[in-house]
A = this chain, B = another copy of it.
Amino acid sequence: MINLEEIQKLSKSTPSKIVMLVLDGLGGLPHPDTGKTELETANTPNMDKLASQSICGLSHPISPGITPGSGPAHLALFGYDPIKYTIGRGVLESLGIDFDLKKDDVAVRANFCTVDSSGVVTDRRAGRIPTTESSKLCEALNEIKLSGVDLSVVSVSEHRFVVVFHGDGLGAGLNDTDPQQEGLAPLKVVGSLKENKKTAALANEFVEKAKDVLSNSHPANMLLLRGFSKLPDIPEFGELFKLGSAAIACYPMYLGLSKAVGMKTFKCISVEDELSTLDKLYEDYDFFYIHIKKTDTHGEDGSFGTKVKEIEKVDALLPKLTGLKPDVIVITGDHSTPAALSGHSWHPIPLLIYSQWCRKDNVHSFGETDCASGSLGNLPAVEIMPLAMANALKLNKYGA
């Protein structure tokens, strides 16, 4: 695989436009009664028509057999080697809520949780307390003073919030305090290197003081920390591909991911709003990333039928996208979330790349089984961006 330095040398700015539509968790598994996946079950005349004018295949975010989180899966879609470049959960959440994270900050994602009198976790999400309540608790936690560093505690939604430690010489190589299952006590933070030990001490100090602040706020009487991280050293998407890029999404994490690679972000409230936003922004950018969340949510909930409905909803709105006549359209998912598994999975994801120059194959229906016979074959997701760029005629020749 060609590296990003080479890609950057080959990329050129042109007026052509690329739209990448990502249906989160798109890939699925067959329903036992029909043998058809969620996407194959959905009535998707617009995607099928587009598939018949496209090259199709199946993409794998990391490598075959590996189930990715949303972070690495999206980095791969954006053209970054997801093994080489990593973005921690704390950074993702911070960027997602528009928190102005600085180079030296250490951010961590936090959950309110419930512990019993012996300190054992009885609910890792504190009954998903409403955001109105958790915001107040975050304000209280924000008053905590730590030795030598400033602290920010900011609510995200429901039980989720972000803690940011501002200071010099802080490392982020730290374990989570979340024991990952109920019935266990939260873990202590431990760091091995000097800069990590410093952050570990601060994090443990914060947890102790927070426990006092929260002692009377059952069910949110404790917190769990996950994904200590700093801003990654990652080349800017726009500089790399010489694209003016807009990210259109409803959920903070995906806006955060896009912002982390340097895209301009536009927060929406629904799929309809996302497509209207695309329409409004269309003249101002060259590259559009549109994120559809609920396909994944329904998959996570194990709800085959509602995932089917969500795919059909997106399909029905697709003409608003295709009507803009982008030079290149990519439709895929960041990973599979089969309802049958109620979670992310390793299964490769249906992929179509449409352009005037794509050399279409014989796939006429957008689904897992048909895409498996597409001319793209099984493709690492990291190669989608170079293909999209090529199809937009935005890449110069490599070598003489």
Q: Chain A residues in contact with chain B, CB under 8 A?
A: 1-3, 6, 10, 29-30, 37, 58, 62-73, 82-83, 86, 88-89, 92, 109, 226-227, 340-341, 344-348, 357, 359-362, 368-369, 372-379, 383, 385-391, 395-400
> Is there contact, CB below 8 Å, between A2 and B359?
no
- Contact across chains for B378 and A376 when beta carbons are under 8 A apart: yes
The residue that A30 contacts in the complex, of B344, B359, B386, with Cβ under 8 A, is B359
Contact of A386 among B66, B82, B89, B389 (CB under 8 A): B66
Other-chain residue from B64, B92, B397 in contact with A68 (beta carbon distance below 8 A): B397
Q: Determine the chain B residues whose CB is within 8 A of the CB of A89 once the complex forms.
A: 400
**Inter-subunit contact B71/A390 (CB<8 Å):** no
Q: Are A399 and B72 in contact (CB under 8 A)?
A: yes
Sort A-B residue pairs by CB-CB distance and give the 9 closest, nearest first. A65-B386, A89-B400, A372-B375, A72-B399, A69-B399, A65-B390, A65-B387, A346-B390, A377-B378
For the complex formed, measure the closest distance between the CB of A60 and the CB atoms of chain B, giving whole angstroms: 10
A67-B390, A92-B400 provided; 20 other pairs, C-beta below 8 A?
A: A2-B63, A6-B83, A10-B66, A58-B375, A64-B376, A64-B386, A67-B397, A68-B397, A68-B398, A68-B399, A69-B399, A73-B399, A86-B399, A89-B400, A109-B400, A226-B400, A347-B359, A362-B372, A368-B375, A377-B378
Q: Is the CB of A2 within 8 A of B66?
A: yes
- CB <8 Å contact, B383 and A1: no
How many copies of this chain does one complex carry?
A: 2
Q: Which residues of B contact A359 (CB under 8 A)?
A: 29-30, 37, 347, 368
- Residue in contact with A400 in the complex, picked from B227, B345, B391, B396, CB distance below 8 Å: B227
In-complex Cβ contact of A69 among B375, B388, B400 (8 A): B400
Q: List 28 A-B contacts (CB under 8 A).
A: A1-B63, A2-B62, A2-B63, A6-B83, A30-B359, A37-B359, A64-B379, A65-B390, A65-B391, A67-B395, A67-B396, A67-B397, A68-B397, A70-B400, A82-B399, A92-B400, A109-B400, A227-B400, A340-B357, A341-B357, A344-B397, A345-B390, A346-B387, A346-B390, A347-B359, A362-B369, A372-B374, A378-B379
Closest to A388 in B: B65
Q: Are B88 and A400 within 8 A (Cβ)?
A: yes
Alpha-carbon gap, A376 to B64, bound state (A): 9
A63 near B377 (CB under 8 angstroms)? no
Instruction: Please give me the residue from chain B that is nearest to A86 by CB atom.
Output: B399
A379 to B378, CA, bound (A): 9
Provide the residues of chain B in CB contact with A37, threshold 8 Å: 359
User: Is the pair B86, A386 in contact by a Cβ cutoff of 8 Å?
Assistant: no
CA distance A205 to B8 in the complex (A): 32
> Across the interface, which residues of B come within 8 angstroms of A378, CB to CB?
375-377, 379
Which among A66, A379, A388 has the highest number of chain B CB atoms within 10 Å? A66
The answer to whether A398 and B6 have CB atoms under 8 Å apart is no
8 Å CB contact of A372 from B69, B361, B387: B361
Q: What residues of chain B lie closer than 8 Å to A397, measured between beta carbons?
A: 67-69, 344
CA distance A368 to B348 in the complex (A): 22
Which residues does chain B contribute within 8 Å of A68, judged by CB atoms?
A: 397-399
